[in-house]
């Protein structure tokens, strides 16, 4: 027997941005397909015309691209596939597995209220089920569901799930305006696209028996189902906006690396021993649905920040410079030569947790209008330091190559001659060069700035101190 080729799908509804929960679902489907050499399909479920927007669809696609979740087919748009759904409905009608229902919304509402008043579950009572009615204005098409027995499936995560068919009423497949319903579209699509595994949030678990009944009526074997537990915030309530930014693009804009977010996402419900960090290849090699737990995953922003800081440190200067460029651009820093940007990045890497922080820290190198931190200005930019800064500037001007080692020699000699400690000149100089009292190592900073800029900044601080006298 040849092994079945695995086909998964991610079918977001474009009614909003791609959020953490959706991204995790996409990732699990993508990983499962990649793990098994299968196919991963993107489908946009835009049948709800009133709530779906092109912008949301675009933002979802952009989020997937940013995360590197590439798809092998699609994006399919449900709004362009009505023929497929209608063919399935017509087939069910022709085979007597679906029927036209003429009950008006008002009548149904009356029946629902009456059932509720008697303490019964409000479900369709099957009035039109066996009347053999044809289509009529305002009529809908319903599935003739089995009246007795059970519908069951073995969820790959939750185990066996069974529901009595008496709980389920004859669901609508085609609305009175002729449009197919959500369940009908999903099933027809999943069949058409050859989906073998449906991996989705467990908020869909109640939809599954209904969808299985449509498969059964169409005489098509059902796919495997894996319902992934929900995601909680650190306070153990369902993850929501209260817990911080929710959209993938917001995390991108806050300066997270896609790989850090991927690692945080995969750990929401899945684990592989105690391992916290995975390369893309490791994820593909080790991902399995057996290791998706039954309990909810907890999204922890602190952990994501830590992870991001680690990945920033591990990324090459060259790659980071590329990633940082749009963030610099956003704060008006443009046209920095690649070599200088890489050198700057190397000094900022150990101290930046996000690309936004890094861009902000990089400002000191490239922003010529550098302002001095007020407290430091008062404390360190005082007339006593003028002779030191003037003398050091003279030495820097004439020294040989402008490297960290050479700078160290120049400073050591100067401090020795004057009998002073580095700290007496370090803070004034740091303020002169960066505007701040905390920065990467002084010599590193000087090398990134280059000799001319260092001298220019010292000159500027000299005039600033003079002006205070
Ligand atoms: N469009 C549905 C959603 O965004 C997904 C349905 C499914 O996975 O079957 O929740």
C-beta of 21 in contact with ligand 1 (< 6 A): no
pTM exceeds 0.95, yes or no:
no
Protein residue with its CA nearest to atom 6 in ligand 1: 11
Query: Residue 147: CB partners within 8 Å, gap ≥ 6?
Result: 126, 165, 166
Is the predicted pLDDT of residue 257 greater than 90, yes or no? Answer: yes
- Kindly give the distance from the C-alpha atom of residue 22 to the centroid of ligand 1, in angstroms, as a whole number: 9
112 ligand 1 Cβ < 6 A: no
Alpha helices in 36-100 (DSSP H): 54-67, 82-94
Predicted confidence (pLDDT) per residue in 330-363, tens digit: 999 999 999 999 999 999 999 999 999 999 999 9
Give dist(CA 414, CA 416) in Å, integer.
5
Taking CA atoms only, the protein residue closest to ligand 1 atom 3 is 12
Judging by DSSP bridges, how do beta strands 73-77 and 231-232 pair with one another? unpaired
Q: Which atom of ligand 1 is nearest to the CA of 10?
A: 8
Closest CA to 78 of 123, 40, 36, 46: 46
Is 241 among the catalytic positions? yes
Ligand 1 centre to CA of 44 (Å) is 9
Question: What percent of the chain clears pLDDT 70, i.e. is strictly above it?
Answer: 99
Separation in Å, CA 440 to CA 8, 361, 370? 48, 10, 16
Confidence check: pLDDT of 227 > 80: yes
Burial of 457 by CB count in 10 Å (0-12 exposed, 13-18 middle, 19+ buried)? buried
Rounded distance from Cα 119 to ligand 1 centre (Å): 32
| Cα distance between residue 214 and residue 168, in whole Å | 12
248 burial level (CB within 10 Å; 0-12, 13-18, 19+): buried
Last residue of a domain, one of 228, 245, 271: 228
CA–CA distance, 196 with 209 (Å, rounded to integer): 16
pLDDT tens profile 286-334? 999 999 999 888 898 899 999 999 999 999 999 999 999 999 999 999 9
Question: What is the 8-class DSSP label of residue 247?
Answer: B
> Which numbered atom of ligand 1 lies nearest the CA of 203?
10
Mean of the per-residue pLDDT values of the chain: 94
Report the CATH number at residue 187.
3.40.50.620
Whole-number Å distance between alpha carbons of 268 and 265: 5
The last residue of a domain, from among 198, 213, 228: 228
In a domain, 432, yes or no: yes
Quote the domain boundaries for residue 158: 82-228
Choice among 5, 97, 116, 241 that is catalytic? 241
Q: Would you say the CB of residue 75 lies under 6 angstroms from ligand 1?
A: no
Helices within 68-206 (DSSP H only): 82-94, 105-117, 182-192
User: 457 in a domain, yes or no?
Assistant: yes
Q: What average pLDDT score do residues 231-242 get? A: 85
User: Which residues lie across from 110 on neighbouring strands?
Assistant: none
Share of residues in the chain with pLDDT > 90 (%): 88
Count the residues in the chain: 469
Nearest atom in ligand 1 to the alpha carbon of residue 211 is 9
Q: Phi first, then psi: what are they for 290, rounded to 5°?
A: -60, -30
Residue 156, pLDDT score? 97
- Per-residue pLDDT of 358-412, as tens digits, reads 999 999 999 878 899 999 999 999 999 999 999 999 999 999 999 999 999 999 9
Token pair belonging to 306: 């830590």
Q: Residue 434: which CATH number?
A: 1.10.10.350
- In-domain check, residue 349: no
377 CA distance to ligand 1 middle (Å) = 58
Question: How many domains does the chain divide into?
Answer: 2
Q: Which of 204, 228, 252 is the last residue of a domain?
A: 228
């Amino acid at each position: 027997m040849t092994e079945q080729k695995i086909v998964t799908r991610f079918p977001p509804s474009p009614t909003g941005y791609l959020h953490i929960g959706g991204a995790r679902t996409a990732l699990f489907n993508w990983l499962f397909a990649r793990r098994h050499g299968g196919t991963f399909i993107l489908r946009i479920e835009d049948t709800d015309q009133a709530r779906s927007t092109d912008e949301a669809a675009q933002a979802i696609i952009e989020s997937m691209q940013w995360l590197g979740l590439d798809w092998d087919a699609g994006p399919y748009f449900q709004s362009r596939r009505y023929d497929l759904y209608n063919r399935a409905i017509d087939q069910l009608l022709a085979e007597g597995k679906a029927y036209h229902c003429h009950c008006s919304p008002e009548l149904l509402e009356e029946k629902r209220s009456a059932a509720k008043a008697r303490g019964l579950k409000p479900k369709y009572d099957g009035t039109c089920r066996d009347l053999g009615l044809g289509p009529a204005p305002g009529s809908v098409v319903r599935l003739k569901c089995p009246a007795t027995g059970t519908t069951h499936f073995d969820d790959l995560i939750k185990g066996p799930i069974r529901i009595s068919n008496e709980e389920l009423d004859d669901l609508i497949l085609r609305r009175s305006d002729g449009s197919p319903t959500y369940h009908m579209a999903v099933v027809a699509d999943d069949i058409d696209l050859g989906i073998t595994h449906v991996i989705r949030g467990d908020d869909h678990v109640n939809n599954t028996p209904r969808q299985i009944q449509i498969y059964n009526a169409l005489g098509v074997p059902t796919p495997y189902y894996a319902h992934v537990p929900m995601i909680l915030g650190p306070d153990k309530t369902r993850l929501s906006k209260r817990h911080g930014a929710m959209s993938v693009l917001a995390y991108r804009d806050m300066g997270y690396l896609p790989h850090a977010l991927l690692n945080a996402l995969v750990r929401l419900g899945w684990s592989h021993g105690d391992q916290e960090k995975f390369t893309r290849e490791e994820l593909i090699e080790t991902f399995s649905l057996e290791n998706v737990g039954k309990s909810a995953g907890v999204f922890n922003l602190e952990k994501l920040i830590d992870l991001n800081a680690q990945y920033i440190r591990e990324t090459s200067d060259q790659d980071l410079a590329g990633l940082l460029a749009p963030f610099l651009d956003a704060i008006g820093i443009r046209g920095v030569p690649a070599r200088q940007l890489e050198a700057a990045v190397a000094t900022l890497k150990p101290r930046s947790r996000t690309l936004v922080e890094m861009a902000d820290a990089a400002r000191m190198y490239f922003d010529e209008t550098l302002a001095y931190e007020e407290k430091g200005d008062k404390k360190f930019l005082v007339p006593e330091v003028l002779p030191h800064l003037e003398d050091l500037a003279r030495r820097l001007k004439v020294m040989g190559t402008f490297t960290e080692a050479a700078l160290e020699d120049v400073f050591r000699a100067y401090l020795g001659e004057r009998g002073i400690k580095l700290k007496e000149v370090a803070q004034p100089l740091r303020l002169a060069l960066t505007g701040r009292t905390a920065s990467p190592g002084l010599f590193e900073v000087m090398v990134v700035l280059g000799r001319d800029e260092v001298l220019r900044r010292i000159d500027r601080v000299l005039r600033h101190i003079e002006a205070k006298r």
